[in-house]
Structure 1
């Protein structure tokens, strides 16, 4: 293994920020933007072996290599393992309005829920091990196929169209008028909208988010080499300098030849298994066949159209370009207003930033005793939360291995990738 220069001092943070901004801008568009897909089942462990002897590079040079990467075409298989310390969400999706089922109503064209709707797959990414087959040919053609035991879920973006198909239910979801540039075109009454936002699905997308966090509160260094999916790679390590964050370290394996991130691993400060581990098991940087991105619904498939969600400024989840709901059901369906952000504040900086906001109505969580929550739902909330108290009064902390949130009895919420003690300290300081 080649020697490496010591960790870079944060006096270089300005240069690092320039590099990571470029990297975030030019990272390869390998999956359908904001793909909301997952899978069931296991695949062989990620193929990593050996420490290839590569020329030494600094963290700055490696970030610039990522920024200069112009990978527009690839295909391969990605394995994602997520361990947030939550129960599996797959079977719960239907109870929260997602997922499929034969009892749903709705016509074949427009309206109604669909088992193929990408947002119905979103919660499944929160836990377990998933396998995705991905392909990309520039910014206008991407495909993600979710491999299940006896079925397959596919999400295809081709030009201004998005198709999703669930073979288990033989249902398809279709949306037109989409583009990935983020610019809104003038298409009359319908306009253009972006593909649905969702969790990252590839090492590139995870790495983009991590690089956005590089600042004076961050340690960045190159820590050896690895081989991922048969390719030589450098290991870029990103770590918080502050105490109190739930993030221990982030490791990104960067392809030595192309600068493409091949593997992303986030380890919590509490230790143990990675919270997120996403990497290629196979990858090919050749041009995929044009037929890869072709799709026509199979005979007899139920097709749900998303045209009714394509009004200017909305995506097909019924949100505006900032991701906000257009209506507030608690307020009788009134149009969303900026003040509905409930005085959102950010406490602290960097990895220990905490968001503070008020719940609607200035009250704490509803309870079974008030008649607002079914008893079974109350039991679930109680099992997920820990009671805490301090100068702020009392409240409940809901914890995962990465994100924690404190909901006080007087209707305030403190949330971030920080420890429970950090949340209580922030609430006390704001009291």
Structure 2
């Protein structure tokens, strides 16, 4: 398929059913309910099911969704992620970066609607005060009803660029289950086992389940399950399951969905009288999600600059190197710090925040690389060595220690 055709196809999936990302990456999509049964459906192969998703022409829908995220973060880091951007974000309480960062933890209820690549809307309805993010043509609006604050960004290329590259307003409105599934399937290569699991019912609709599992050992990911509408091929739910078991790391999907065209006024927005309006910068503020090449996510943790000698987020002298591939890939960052963790631990004059961060890291480890500490979540783990190197990935503690020993 030609590149332009692919871009047009991708544009159809640029709808706001949830997430922005941890990144990263981490991220996810919308639901959370037990299967209502196992419907009797015609047999399909994994390849046929992937093709069904890719061939889906659905670009209009409305409904309700849920996303639950349980990264198992330590209390310090969880509080930081839950409040990321609060007060310090240029767009104030209406800035989408601050709102979407909340999806990194807890459970959230959403109302969603989409009408092609140029009109989407997502509304957080966790409490009586609502927050809406609306993309309508060249305008992207964020509205916090409690604070009566509005965030606005105007970009004449917004509608045309949906699905192409990062940083456009349409990209930051969110991504649909379709887009998330497409990204996961794109990443499925020789390191992934792809199969069809048990049938399910999601939001009252019969669905197949596509199951992706790492072939490699050492990953924290047990599997990714994507429930696909049996009629129209739309992914209805995405679940990210941990190798260690327990409830899903991410459980995201529709609780109610209607594939009819939403009313045009669904996407209309005019700032309420007296509302504070902040104009955003097209392409996103520097340092925001998706910007920079220097692993700026490390800067989210207070005290890390003190631990790494101010090199956090700067890539250090050695920059970043990716070790391994697929589900077992590990990023190695040489911060260039000249101060060891042990020195910091024993320094009575060290900043309080630095020691708090150090104590939140968890296990002390040692190996052929020397000594260090491991910061653990259910998905992403990071090893900070005594000599200022950082090893991070969706892998186990043992995998990090082995990588650090082999690449000291």
TM over 0.5, shorter chain: yes
Matched, 1:152 2:124: no
Give matches, 1:305-384, under 5 Å.
305-306=279-280, 309-310=281-282, 315-318=283-286, 323-324=291-292, 342-361=318-337, 367=344, 374-384=351-361
CA 300–183 in structure 1, closer or farther in 2 if over 3 Å, else same: closer
Q: How does 1:85-124 map to 2 (within 5 A)?
A: 85-86=72-73, 92=80, 98-100=85-87, 112-124=90-102
Partner of 1:9: none
What SS does the corresponding residue of 1:209 show, helix, strand or coil?
A: helix
**Any unmatched runs of 5+ in structure 1?**
1-20, 38-42, 105-110, 186-191, 331-337
Q: Does 1:292 align with 2:266?
A: yes
Instruction: State how many pairs are aligned.
Output: 377
Deviation per CA, 1:108-156: give whole Å up to 9, x if none: xxx9551101111233111110111111111111111011211100001
Query: In the TM superposition, what whole-angstrom CA distance separates every residue of 1:295-329 from its partner, at most 9, and x where no partner exists?
Result: 111111111112xx33xxxx222259962179x99
Please give the alpha-carbon distance, in whole angstroms, between the structure 2 residues aligned to 1:344 and 1:420. Answer: 19
Distance 1:367 1:95 in 2: 27
Distance 1:45 1:290 in 2: 29
Q: Does 1:404 align with 2:372?
A: no
> Do the aligned partners of 2:63 and 2:111 also contact (CA within 8 Å) in 1?
yes
Partner of 2:199: 225
Q: CA deviation at 1:243?
A: 0.9
Q: Quick one: structure 1 residues 254 and 44, their matched pair in 2 at CA, closer, same or farther if it must change by over 3 Å? A: closer
Select which of 13, 21, 39 maps to 1:28: 13
What are structure 2's unaligned runs of at least 5 residues?
A: 1-5, 23-29, 300-304, 306-313
The DSSP-based 3-state class of the residue aligned with 2:92 is coil
For residues 45 and 125 of structure 1, what CA distance do their matches in structure 2 show?
A: 14
* In 2, Cα distance between equivalents of 1:94 and 1:33: 16
Whether 1:252 aligns to 2:226 is yes
CA change 1:274–1:94 in 2 (3 A) is: closer
Cα distance, 1:254 vs structure 2: 0.2
Q: TM-score, normalised by structure 1?
A: 0.77
Q: How far did residue 360 of structure 1 move?
A: 4.7
Quote the Cα distance in structure 1 between the aligned partners of 2:186 and 2:226. 14
Tell whether the 8 Å contact from 2:375 to 2:381 is kept in structure 1 after alignment.
yes
Question: CA–CA distance in 1 between the matches of 2:232 and 2:200?
Answer: 15
Choose which of 258, 271, 282 in structure 1 pairs with 2:256: 282
1:132–1:144 Cα contact (<8 Å) kept: yes
How far did 1:82 drift? 0.4
Q: Deviations over 1:209-248 (max 9, x none)?
A: 3213211111111112111101110011110111110000
CA gap 1:363/1:196 in 2 versus in 1, 3 angstroms = farther
State the Cα distance separating 1:201 from its structure 2 match.
5.7
For 2:325 and 2:257, how far apart are their aligned partners in 1? 37
SS of 1:381's equivalent?
A: helix
SS of the equivalent of 1:224 reads coil
SS at match of 1:162: strand
In structure 2, the partner of 1:265 is: 239
1:11-39 deviations in whole A, cap 9, x for unaligned? Answer: xxxxxxxxxx99994772221796579xx
How far apart are the structure 1 equivalents of 2:125 and 2:117?
23
Report how far residue 202 of structure 1 moved. 4.3
Aligned to 1:126: 104
